[in-house]
Amino acid sequence: MKNWISFPKVEGTASRQAHVRLPAGTYEREMGREGFFGPATQMHHAHPPTGWTSFDGPLRPRAFDLNHVDHMPGQIPECPLEAPALMGNGATQLRLWRFKGRMEHLVRNADGDDLLFFHQGGGHLFCDYGHLEVREGDYVVLPRNTSWRLETDEAVMVLMVEATGDAYKLPHKGLVGTHAIFDPAVLDVPALDDAFQAQKHERETLVRVKKRNQLCAMTYPFNPLDAVGWHGDLAPVRLNWRDIRPLMSHRYHLPPSAHSTWIANGFVVCTFVPRPIESDPEALKLPYYHSNEDYDEVLFYHRGQFFSRDNIHPGMVTYHPSGFPHGPHPKAYEVAQKFERKETDEVAVMIDTRDPLDVYPAMEGVEWGGYADSWKAK
């Protein structure tokens, strides 16, 4: 346990409550530790913290359009283990997989749990534990070393987030109780149903396994997805964003940590879903300016209009390195101040990583080079 130095203090002109009743003519910026879970200070500035005229260097915010990411030469498109790697560090690897058809081999990730987010399309996922139908908007957590394959009649676009050497867990929900945000009872697990029984066969089957980020192959004279039963409390789970009921307050803008969905040791995955916008006239009505001092932030935009951003569409991803002051774009800030929108309609997946992320070559050619300038007042 950390014993943070703590001496709550107010200096100069400041509000008594974070994100509420800001002093006239000021812009609030939160400097926080441990990704909104640690101590924080709200600074009140005379100018927007994003009011730069130029920006360069490794702290530069970046935006990419994943709709145009292609497989690298030599990769097998039907194999999710060879999907283009987008970003990563020692705790996680982000990939984007596009596929349509029937996987003729099985895959297994021995490097860590995999989280699949189905941005487009769906189908039938078969794994050691049985059969699971998947659709747009589903998360599927696959425990480390689970063998699986996918069948689909439509094209799928899947964001894959690996918990390298780690496992996904649910966030602690504290005062609001275990049924808040989503009840664990809505988590679906695979079934040994008729579809699973029908896929069993005695033909030779290839299993491709990723270990230490290298691929190896195992060949069986039968289909290893041949379970006749199982019991226990370890299995893949499915959660659709539509089953998430977000925490909200009409008088206070909650931090992203309130929307935590999956937790690993080196990062957290949050889900932003439609919700009412704060109605209290003194409360901020969109994400406050902040510079997350310890975590890199990645946002994948699934659908809707992200209410604090301009010129961002579904299938894009933004990357904000730790220490970069960011927040709403000027136009979005104006709209929020007038309370012209009463609710959000965006769905987005946020991955906050404790260690810096590397951006991989697959992202070359799909970057929006002007993203850092998008905060400039028009």
Residues 65 and 364: their CA atoms lie apart, in Å, by 10
Residue 290 among known ligand-binding residues? yes
Residues 114 and 281: their CA atoms lie apart, in Å, by 42
Which whole-number Å values give the CA distances from 120 to 65, 97, 301, 303, in the listed order? Answer: 15, 11, 12, 10
Sign of CA dihedral 60, 85, 67, 266: negative
Residues 232 and 14: their CA atoms lie apart, in Å, by 53
HEC string for 298-366: EEEEEECCCCCCCCCCCCEEEEECCCCCECCCHHHHHHHHCCCCCECCCEEEEEEECCCCEECHHHCCC
Tokens 């984007």 correspond to 96
Residues 17 and 106: their CA atoms lie apart, in Å, by 53
Residue 326 among known ligand-binding residues? yes
Backbone phi, psi, residue 183, to 5°:
-75, 130
Residues 182 and 244: their CA atoms lie apart, in Å, by 5
Q: Which residues form the catalytic set?
A: 253
Residue 138 among known ligand-binding residues? no
Residues 70 and 360: their CA atoms lie apart, in Å, by 13
Residues 2 and 156: their CA atoms lie apart, in Å, by 43
- Tell me, what DSSP letter sits at residue 188? B
Residues 282 and 19: their CA atoms lie apart, in Å, by 9
Q: Identify the burial level of 3 via C-beta atoms within 10 angstroms of its C-beta, where 0-12 means exposed, 13-18 middle and 19 or more buried.
A: exposed
- Could you list the residues known to form a binding site, using ranges: 290, 296, 326
- Could you list the residues known to form a binding site for homogentisate, using ranges: 326
- Could you list the residues known to form a binding site for Fe cation, using ranges: 290, 296, 326
